[in-house]
Chains A and B, each alone.
Chain A
Amino acid sequence: MAGSGKLHLRLDSDPLLIVQDLVVQYKVNRKSFVSAVAGISFDVLRGETLAIVGESGCGKSTLGKAILQLPRPQGGTVVLDGVDITALEGNDLRDVRPKVQMIFQDAISSLDPRLQVKNIIDEPLKVWKKGTAAERSIKVDNLLNSVGLDPVVVRDRRPYEFSGGQCQRISIARAIALDPVLLVCDEPVSALDVSIQAQILNLLQDMKEEFGLTLIFISHDLAVVKAVSTRVLVMYLGKICEMATPDDLYAHPAHHYSRALIAAVPIPNPEVGVDKIRVTGEPPSPVDPPTGCRFRTRCESASERCATEEPQLQEVGLGHFVACHHPVTN
Chain B
Amino acid sequence: MNQLLKLADFSVSFATPRGNLHAVRGVDLVVAKGESIGIVGESGSGKTVLSRATMGLMPSTATCTGLVEFNGVPLSNLSRAEVRNYWGTGMAMIFQDPLTSLNPVRRIGSQLMEGLIVRLGMPKKQAQARAVELLERVRIPDPYAAMKKYPGELSGGMRQRIVIAIAIACTPELLFADEPTTALDVTVQAQVLELLAELRQEINMTMILVTHDLGVVAGQTDRVVVMYAGEIVETAATKDLFANMKMPYTEALMKSIPRLDQSSGQRLRVITGRLPDPTSPEPGCSFAPRCEYATDKCRAEKPPLVTTQTGHQYRCFFPIGGSL
Is B212 positioned at the interface, with any CB of A under 8 Å from its CB? yes
A198-B270, A201-B268, A280-B191 are known contacts. Are A226 and B218 too (CB-CB below 8 A)?
Answer: no
Compute how far the CA of A170 lies from the CA of B191 in the bound complex, rounded to whole angstroms: 37
Extra A-B contacts (11), CB below 8 Å, given A195-B271, A268-B214: A197-B268, A223-B258, A226-B260, A229-B264, A260-B187, A261-B187, A264-B186, A264-B190, A268-B261, A270-B238, A278-B187
Q: Tell me the nearest residue of chain B to A262, going by C-beta.
A: B260
Q: Tell me the nearest residue of chain A to B40, going by C-beta.
A: A194
Compute how far the CA of A268 lies from the CA of B254 in the bound complex, rounded to whole angstroms: 9
A188 vs chain B, min Cβ distance (A)? 13
Is B42 positioned at the interface, with any CB of A under 8 Å from its CB? yes
Is A199 positioned at the interface, with any CB of B under 8 Å from its CB? yes
A194-B212, A267-B215 are known contacts. Are A226 and B267 too (CB-CB below 8 A)?
Answer: no
Q: Tell me the nearest residue of chain B to A165, going by C-beta.
A: B274
A202-B267, A264-B189 are known contacts. Are A224 and B238 too (CB-CB below 8 A)?
Answer: no
Is A271 positioned at the interface, with any CB of B under 8 Å from its CB? yes
- Determine whether the beta carbon of A195 is less than 8 Å from that of B258: no
- Determine whether the beta carbon of B218 is less than 8 Å from that of A270: yes
Q: Tell me the nearest residue of chain A to B215, going by C-beta.
A: A266
- Determine whether the beta carbon of B185 is less than 8 Å from that of A195: no
13 contacts between A and B (CB under 8 A): A193-B212, A195-B270, A202-B268, A223-B257, A227-B265, A245-B264, A264-B187, A265-B260, A267-B215, A267-B218, A269-B261, A270-B239, A282-B158
- Determine whether the beta carbon of A224 is less than 8 Å from that of B258: yes
Please name all residues of chain A whose beta carbon is closer than 8 Å to the beta carbon of B217 when the two chains form the complex: 268
- Determine whether the beta carbon of A268 is less than 8 Å from that of B215: yes
Is A222 positioned at the interface, with any CB of B under 8 Å from its CB? yes
Compute how far the CA of A274 lies from the CA of B215 in the bound complex, rounded to whole angstroms: 10
A198-B268, A220-B185, A227-B264 are known contacts. Are A268 and B259 too (CB-CB below 8 A)?
Answer: yes
- Determine whether the beta carbon of A266 is less than 8 Å from that of B219: yes
- Determine whether the beta carbon of B268 is less than 8 Å from that of A227: yes
Compute how far the CA of A265 lies from the CA of B271 in the bound complex, rounded to whole angstroms: 24
Partner of A223, one of B141, B187, B259: B259
Is B14 positioned at the interface, with any CB of A under 8 Å from its CB? no
A55-B187, A198-B256, A260-B187 are known contacts. Are A268 and B218 too (CB-CB below 8 A)?
Answer: yes
Is B157 positioned at the interface, with any CB of A under 8 Å from its CB? yes
- Determine whether the beta carbon of B212 is less than 8 Å from that of A230: no
Please name all residues of chain A whose beta carbon is closer than 8 Å to the beta carbon of B122 when the two chains form the complex: none
A271 vs chain B, min Cβ distance (A)? 7
Please name all residues of chain B whose beta carbon is closer than 8 Å to the beta carbon of A274 when the two chains form the complex: 219
**Number of A-B pairs whose CB atoms are under 8 Å?**
129
- Determine whether the beta carbon of B157 is less than 8 Å from that of A282: yes
Please, what's the 1-or-0 string for B207-240, where 1 marks a CB less than 8 Å from any CB in chain A? 0000011111111100000000000000000110
Within B268-324, which residues are at the interface with A (CB < 8 Å)? 268-271, 274
- Determine whether the beta carbon of B185 is less than 8 Å from that of A56: yes
Compute how far the CA of A59 lies from the CA of B163 in the bound complex, rounded to whole angstroms: 27
Is B193 positioned at the interface, with any CB of A under 8 Å from its CB? yes
Compute how far the CA of A280 lies from the CA of B274 in the bound complex, rounded to whole angstroms: 40
A222-B186, A270-B219 are known contacts. Are A278 and B191 too (CB-CB below 8 A)?
Answer: yes
- By Cβ-Cβ distance, the 3 closest A-B pairs, closest first, are A266-B215, A268-B214, A193-B43
Is B242 positioned at the interface, with any CB of A under 8 Å from its CB? yes
Is A96 positioned at the interface, with any CB of B under 8 Å from its CB? no
A135 vs chain B, min Cβ distance (A)? 33
Is B156 positioned at the interface, with any CB of A under 8 Å from its CB? yes
Within B157-177, which residues are at the interface with A (CB < 8 Å)? 157-158
- Determine whether the beta carbon of A197 is less than 8 Å from that of B215: no
Q: Tell me the nearest residue of chain B to A220, going by C-beta.
A: B185
Is B266 positioned at the interface, with any CB of A under 8 Å from its CB? yes
Is B262 positioned at the interface, with any CB of A under 8 Å from its CB? yes
